[in-house]
Structure 1
Amino acid sequence: MASITLPAAADFHVHLRDGSMMETVVPTVRQGGASLAYVMPNLVPAITTVEQALEYHSKLQALDPSVAFLMTLYLSPEITPDVIRAAAATGKIAGVKSYPKGLTTNSEGGVVDYAAFYPVFAAMEECDMVLNIHGESPSSETTTILNAEETFLPTLKALHERFPNLRIVLEHCTTAAAVEAVKACGANVAATITAHHLYLTIDQWADNPHCFCKPVAKLPSDRAALLEAATSGNPKFFLGTDSAPHPRSAKVGTANGKTAAGVFTQPYAVQYVASAFDRMGKLDKLRAFVCDFGRDFYKTVEKGWETAEDITKDAIVLEKEPGQVVVAEIGQGEGAVVPFMAGEKLWGVRWL
């Protein structure tokens, strides 16, 4: 198969930042083949009020009115059942994102005790809002970044059992165990899989800071499980790139000696996935993973965030030849960002 025509893709996990980085990154959503972006709230300060979310939405829409931006709130003590009801009423805020305290970018205000938010989850269930979970446990004598996701999975199961009608997305799965846990839950539990985790194992991020993200890529057997889930045609698994731009200076040679966690994939989102699916001989499963399953789970048409015409009017064409070479960096000066797999060739994409 040399080319594929698809409806516009949807990316259900993006980091678009703020300020000059936002101005650099937002135009790359459509460049990567997507017409819908589900936006993460871990700015500084975090998005914890309806007013902040709507203001952020206005900024994003002004930069690219051709993209549908779905907003989220940052799970924190400021989020109450009343805030949930007000958020749902806006028609622009689709979910609430839970971060474990201190484990990833701008997560210092994250969750320590999920039980404290049971009233919030009940209100989300009532309002049909989605709970997005960064599923990792804090480090301890027995928990490290390599098993933090797997040790969190009992919490996912417990939340689903307590709130069976709450739609939950386990974000950016990285392990075979997470794939099996999501399969074992009911239809209201789904998972996103990133583009970069279809390629990476521990070996790549161990010596390349541009491949380092949270949760970290794991073993070849875990990558194989992610590829199998993504290409399986199971509607529980769909694209959420977790594209997370950081300036080159925050990834390499940082002043505090720490490497920022995040892999930047936004400008080539669908191309990365198409190239991975091609290697698997599963290009026939591409549309479901990047276009259909996420929209169905989030009810984007039912809730009026898109129309069927919106999705199909600007189709994309993926072409194996001549393909596309990933550029060395996007942006300028101190704000330049290095994309994943810079210099390597992928399938190309163009809009009809």
Structure 2
Amino acid sequence: MTLYLSPKLTPDEIRKAKAAGIVGVKSYPRGVTTNSDGGIESYEAYYSVFEAMQEVDMVLNLHGEVPSDPANNIHILNAEPSFLPHLHRLHATFPRLRIVLEHATTRAAVEAVKACGDTVACTITTHHLALTVDDWAGQSWHFCKPVAKYPDDRQALRDVIAEGHPRFFLGSDSAPHPPDQKSTSTPLCGCAAGIYTSPILLPLTAHLLESFGALDKLEGFVSTFGRNFYKKPANGNKVVLKRPSSAMTIPTNGYTFKEAIVIPFWAGQQLDWIINM
């Protein structure tokens, strides 16, 4: 479980949360993604909270973008690289604070995390291993925050997984927005940002890792590396994937989520792996 960084969060609340088994704190900058209007505007205002987190060994989870700012040429394609100085500054100020840069999408982010050292890690979503900017421009079902970037950025994500780097691991960032929020927009309101992968996450991840020669890195990427960084021991449960006699087609009629029908990523496409039930 995690808390959300807000003005109500204090060092004492951090210590109580740690004692209650809370593992981390999630931070959204204001206005960068769906439902982030209550996000933060200044990290310096929370330095006492970060000091307490470092003291009790909690994890800071960062949505690594800054808000768009036309005056400074900040937009959705460079919002992540523009955030990275904040990451470096936080790491330099709190070198023992464990930080996870979530759902990275750029080569710059991969290089920044590598440069920070052992207390800084990074999650990568499965859908960002498949998408580039061409896939979401004009296609609302592939629109998420942070948006998928250039082919070279996608290659950097694939390469660090194929490398087996232990500080880069899966973070699904699965967002179950119903079709009416994903497929429509108005002049005053765009579509919801988010991609739904939960029902197919492990088979899809195996399918994509195999496509770029990294299937042997699957267990580390989806399980071991994240557990190790969060200091969570294995619980003995295992999930086994198998290759079916014929490829599985991802349902186009969606899955039921909280009494709503949600359309998954890659609906209608085929996967070479399934969970062995």
Which residue of 168, 177, 198 maps to 2:99?
168
8 Å contact from structure 1 (residues 174, 217) kept in 2:
yes
Match status 1:85 vs 2:10: no
Whole-Å separation in 1 of the counterparts to 2:68 and 2:251: 36
Whole-Å separation in 1 of the counterparts to 2:258 and 2:201: 24
Instruction: Count how many residue pairs are aligned between Structure 1 and Structure 2.
Output: 273
Within 5 Å, give how 1:294-309 maps onto structure 2.
294-301=226-233, 308=234
Give the drift of 1:281.
1.6
Map of 1:9 onto structure 2:
none
Whole-Å separation in 1 of the counterparts to 2:258 and 2:49: 43
Q: Deviations over 1:17-58 (max 9, x none)?
A: xxxxxxxxxxxxxxxxxxxxxxxxxxxxxxxxxxxxxxxxxx
Structure with greater contact order relative to length (CA < 8 Å, sep ≥ 6):
1
Whole-Å separation in 1 of the counterparts to 2:132 and 2:49: 36
Whole-Å separation in 1 of the counterparts to 2:138 and 2:82: 26
Q: 1:254 to 1:333 in 2, by over 3 A?
A: farther
8 Å contact from structure 1 (residues 99, 107) kept in 2:
yes
Which residue of 270, 274, 277 maps to 1:345?
270
Map of 2:224 onto structure 1:
292
Give the drift of 1:98.
0.4
* Long gaps (5+) in structure 2: none
Give the drift of 1:84.
0.6
Alignment RMSD, CA only? 1.6
Describe the SS at the equivalent of 2:243.
strand
Give the drift of 1:207.
2.1
Which amino acid in 2 is paired with 1:188?
Answer: T
Whole-Å separation in 1 of the counterparts to 2:32 and 2:258: 29
Which residue of 307, 314, 323 maps to 2:238?
314
8 Å contact from structure 1 (residues 193, 230) kept in 2:
no
Map of 2:255 onto structure 1:
330
Which residue of 6, 24, 31 maps to 1:102?
31
Give the drift of 1:323.
3.4
Map of 1:189 onto structure 2:
120
> Runs ≥4 in structure 1, deviation > 6 angstroms?
none
8 Å contact from structure 1 (residues 322, 348) kept in 2:
no
Give the drift of 1:280.
1.1
Which amino acid in 1 is paired with 2:251?
Answer: V
8 Å contact from structure 2 (residues 62, 99) kept in 1:
yes
Map of 2:6 onto structure 1:
76
Map of 1:22 onto structure 2:
none
What is the identity percentage for the equivalent residue pairs of Structure 1 and Structure 2? 53
8 Å contact from structure 2 (residues 203, 275) kept in 1:
no
8 Å contact from structure 1 (residues 231, 286) kept in 2:
no
Map of 2:146 onto structure 1:
215
8 Å contact from structure 1 (residues 100, 110) kept in 2:
yes
Q: 1:140 to 1:315 in 2, by over 3 A?
A: closer
Whole-Å separation in 1 of the counterparts to 2:244 and 2:212: 15
Q: Deviations over 1:178-203 (max 9, x none)?
A: 00000000100000000000000011
* Long gaps (5+) in structure 1: 1-70, 302-307
Give the drift of 1:333.
11
Give the drift of 1:341.
0.2
Q: Deviations over 1:309-345 (max 9, x none)?
A: x33x433123254332111111289821110000111
Map of 1:179 onto structure 2:
110
Q: 1:204 to 1:334 in 2, by over 3 A?
A: farther
Q: Deviations over 1:245-283 (max 9, x none)?
A: 101000112465411000000111111111111111221
Match status 1:152 vs 2:76: no
Describe the SS at the equivalent of 2:76.
coil
Query: Normalising by the residue count of structure 2, what TM-score does the alignment of the two structures yield?
Result: 0.94
Which amino acid in 2 is paired with 1:258?
Answer: G
Give the drift of 1:229.
1.2
Q: 1:332 to 1:265 in 2, by over 3 A?
A: closer
Whole-Å separation in 2 of the counterparts to 1:100 and 1:273: 28
Whole-Å separation in 2 of the counterparts to 1:217 and 1:168: 22
